[in-house]
Amino acid sequence: MNSLVKMSFRFIKVTLCFALVYVLCFLICTIIYIFIKSTFDTSHNMNIDFFWIGLGIVQSVVFIVAYGWYIGKPLVYVIKWIGNIATGEFQAPLSELELPERKKSQRNSYKPPYQLYKEVFEQMNILSAQLRSNEEERMEIEKRKQQWVAGVSHDLKTPLSYIEGYAAMLTAQEYDWSEEERRSFSMIISEKVTEMKQLIQDLNASMQLKEGALPIQLKKEDIVEFLRNTVLDIANHPSAEQYEFSFMSLESVCTMPFDSKLLGRALKNFLMNAIIHNPPGTHISMEINKESDKLHISIEDDGIGMNPTECIQMSPSKEHGIPIAKSFIEAHNGTLHILPGSKKGTSMEITLPLNR
């Protein structure tokens, strides 16, 4: 309401100024006419009444056009600005709106006639900034959703490869599996089907993410046992038959809060990459070390190695899936560094906080 009052006063002030100028111009022109008529031969001069009528018409037209331009030009500017917003461009359409930097210390930083609608432009600036912020936030949320979907899609390959491998082993004619072995293979297939169902549920849930944040659920568990089982799970993968695995921990037990689903997906991603992108006979190791308030996890192989920079910058759609796994680590407030291995291969150095 205060802004509306200020704007109304400015309108009244501008209207009175135009009216005052109109009267002054009329008086000045009349005085000049009378002076000329009395000084020079007036026998051919028109009657003063006709002069006033003609002067009033011409002057009225000029002042109406000038007043309309002064009032209407900022409105045209606002219309262009709204048009830009409608097309997704949130910047002001012209640079002539504000005074130069050296004059912005003045009480009114807008050029005439734009200063007449000062409050309107201030609100338009606020609106543009808010819309720009909302659009950037929306794009960031959409980007995170796409990364989450890409990560789930990538991680579906791991249990699917288990099912494919064990199904092929069960149907192989050259092997005569015992009933116990068949039951063991069926249990593993059943477990991986359950894991795939969970990943599909995660995929559906990602469509409903409102803030784009990873749905992390922390629970205090023994991470040493969790990591040991993760390595054993990958070591029992049909594709890992010709690879060597080792696990070493200086701690027998270490309880800390973590999300077993997200962290497990990240670690399985790294271990499966070590299998997929290295030749048979590669040795893959995981070492755990606790230091003050942090847990260090090292996954190293002696394979062909990879470029650390390219891996971190790799698109989520690439088969390595490292950017997605990295986001899972960062969701735990952890860090991931990819370094050359001590034996020519690759080393994944993961650091997690013990307390959150």
For the stretch 105-147, pLDDT in tens is 444 567 788 888 888 888 888 888 888 888 888 887 777 777 7
Classify residue 270: in a domain, yes or no.
yes
- Distance, CA of 319 to CA of 88 (rounded, Å): 34
Do 106 and 99 form a contact (C-beta atoms < 8 A)? Answer: yes
Please indicate, yes or no, whether residues 7 and 122 belong to a single structural domain of this protein.
yes
Taking the CA atoms of the chain, what radius of gyration do you get in angstroms?
A: 38
Please indicate, yes or no, whether residues 222 and 349 belong to a single structural domain of this protein.
yes
pLDDT of residue 334: 92
Classify residue 31: in a domain, yes or no.
yes
- Distance, CA of 262 to CA of 249 (rounded, Å): 21
Classify residue 64: in a domain, yes or no.
yes
Within its chain, how far is the Cα of 35 from the centroid? 74
Classify residue 156: in a domain, yes or no.
no
Kindly report the CATH number assigned to the domain that includes residue 230: 3.30.565.10
Q: Mean pLDDT over all residues of the chain? A: 79
Please indicate, yes or no, whether residues 119 and 12 belong to a single structural domain of this protein.
yes
Domain that holds residue 261: 215-353
Q: What is the mean pLDDT of residues 83-96?
A: 76
- Distance, CA of 331 to CA of 213 (rounded, Å): 9
Q: What is the mean pLDDT of residues 272-288?
A: 88
Beta bridge partners of 348: 299, 338
Please indicate, yes or no, whether residues 230 and 329 belong to a single structural domain of this protein.
yes
Please indicate, yes or no, whether residues 122 and 235 belong to a single structural domain of this protein.
no
Digit-coded pLDDT (tens) for 18-28: 889 988 988 88
pLDDT of residue 285: 93
Domain boundary among the residues 81, 115, 130 is at 130
Classify residue 96: in a domain, yes or no.
yes
Domain boundary among the residues 130, 161, 192 is at 130
Domain count, the chain: 2
Classify residue 268: in a domain, yes or no.
yes
Classify residue 150: in a domain, yes or no.
no
Classify residue 186: in a domain, yes or no.
no
Please indicate, yes or no, whether residues 104 and 219 belong to a single structural domain of this protein.
no
Domain boundary among the residues 90, 114, 130 is at 130
Please indicate, yes or no, whether residues 118 and 230 belong to a single structural domain of this protein.
no
Q: Taking 60 as the threshold, does the pLDDT of residue 104 lie above it?
A: no
Please indicate, yes or no, whether residues 240 and 124 belong to a single structural domain of this protein.
no
Please indicate, yes or no, whether residues 116 and 17 belong to a single structural domain of this protein.
yes
Please indicate, yes or no, whether residues 126 and 244 belong to a single structural domain of this protein.
no
Q: Which of 135-144, 229-238, 303-312 has the lowest mean pLDDT?
A: 303-312
Contacts 24+ apart (CB under 8 A), 156-161: 156/196, 156/199, 156/200, 158/268, 158/269, 158/272, 159/192, 159/193, 159/195, 159/196, 159/199, 160/192, 160/196, 161/237, 161/238, 161/239
Residue 284 region, left (φ>0) first, then alpha (ψ -120 to 50), else beta?
beta
Q: What is the mean pLDDT of residues 153-173?
A: 77
Q: Which of 17-26, 49-58, 291-300 has the lowest mean pLDDT?
A: 49-58
- The token duo for 274 is 């070590």
